[in-house]
Amino acid sequence: MEGQLVTSGDTGAVSILAHLPNPVFVIDDQDHFTYLNNAAEMFFHSSQVMLIGAPLATLIPADSPLFSMLSRARSQQVSVADQGVEFASPRIGMKLVNVQISPYGERGPAEGQLLVTIQERALAERLRGQSVFHGAARSISAMAALLAHEVKNPLAGIKGAAQLLQADLGADDAELTRMIVEETDRITALLDRMEGFAGGANVVLAPVNIHEILDHCLAIASASFGAHLSVLRSYDPSLPVMEGHRDLLIQAFINIIKNASEVTDNNGELNIKTSYSRGRRLSAGAMRTQLHVPIQVEIIDNGPGISPDIRDHIFDPFVTAKAGGSGLGLAMVASVVADHGGMVEVDSARGGTVFRINFPLGEDPAHNVTGLRGGEPRR
């Protein structure tokens, strides 16, 4: 393609750019794509074949500060950089990124082209170091045994009452009492696990179907705290079965979904997305260790966003903006994700919040795929 960054003879450059871990793309003087590397294709959730020649504005809103940066770099022929730029669109969700833009091309067909490099803000940056995330996981462990002991007694009463009601109810109502019994059993098992936190108990992982777990959580939400939510599922049918602890994962997802329900009104929307990317890696810790986390779950709400006052501390125990809230829900999420060797990232701005949970496959993942309600999104 005339004016493109990489020509057919530039095989070395093609190889280098294709394997860079950060998204890199080139746009022409009309802000149309002329080149994208592999990471950029992943970032925009599309292929180079589909995007070459397409305007950048179809993926990123025209009022984004990115376009003023592009204009300045092109008109002044200087490199421009900024940190913490927010991208928000239905196609790519909400992302917080560092951007560097450099002019590319001399006089002629390539004049006006810009080379754009994007670095997604990793969890370590957003939460002032990965130590904050793991610190939250350690902090929640210290109080787990006491809380578990105190909660078990009322749970036994709830289960007993539900079992007594089952015999006198119709089929539809009996299904609800069955859910109550199953959930009390699950929470009791979870509390047993929490009591083991203080003693450093290990999580026993087994093959789990993430889509089945998410559907179970959404069924619980629709029958109680999340009845007002309009739910959109965007499941990746290629998502493989992963190694996980079903009860702990249910509790983690329910905590996030419950938060979303509490900050949204009757027009509340919840978008649950899953994706599988064999090459997805995230940097963690001060040594920037690369974690291979190909499985991703995104839970997106259209609430008012997280207050800037607590945004950097939301995984700390007892940190909450809710009146009467305990501040333990997201600390529990941090603990569960850490136990699974994964990472959780949060993007929040006016108009919505995205929790992006990334998981490894485990040492011996099953090779079959979930296939559960994948493909077309549905309400």
Q: Read off the pLDDT of residues 205-225 as tens digits, 9 standing for 90 and up.
A: 899 999 999 999 999 999 888
Quick one: average pLDDT of 94-108?
77
| Whether the Cβ atoms of residue 369 and residue 238 lie closer than 8 Å to each other | yes
Q: Which domains does the chain have, with CATH numbers?
A: 11-121 (3.30.450.20), 130-143+205-359 (3.30.565.10)
Cα angle for residues 246, 141, 202 (degrees, 5° grid): 50
Mean pLDDT of 346-367: 78
Average pLDDT, the chain: 78
> What does DSSP say about strands 269-276 and 230-234: parallel, antiparallel, or unpaired?
parallel
Range 5-19 average pLDDT: 58
Average pLDDT of the residues in 311-330: 72
Contact 186, 194 (CB under 8 A): no
Least confident range of 86-90, 157-161, 263-267: 86-90
Residue in the structure block whose two tokens are 């669109």: 89
Tell me the mean pLDDT in the region 136-146. 55
**340 and 160 in contact (C-beta within 8 Å)?**
no
Q: What is the mean pLDDT of residues 370-378?
A: 40
Per the CB < 8 A criterion, the answer to whether 330 and 259 are in contact is: yes
pTM, to two decimals:
0.53
Instruction: Give the rounded distance of the alpha carbon of 376 from its chain centre.
Output: 20
Which of 77-86, 181-190, 219-228, 276-285 shows the highest mean pLDDT?
219-228
Pair 186, 250: CB distance under 8 Å: yes
Does 356 have pLDDT greater than 70? yes
Return the bridge partners of 32, or none. Answer: 55
Specify the long-range contacts of residues 207-210, CB closer than 8 Å, at least 24 apart.
Answer: 207/241, 207/242, 207/243, 207/365, 207/366, 208/241, 208/242, 208/243, 208/244, 208/245, 208/246, 208/249, 209/241, 209/370, 209/372, 210/239, 210/242, 210/244, 210/249, 210/274, 210/295, 210/297, 210/359, 210/370
Radius of gyration of the chain (CA): 23
Task: Give the whole-angstrom CA distance, residue 335 versus residue 198.
Answer: 13
Average of per-residue pLDDT across 59-86? 86
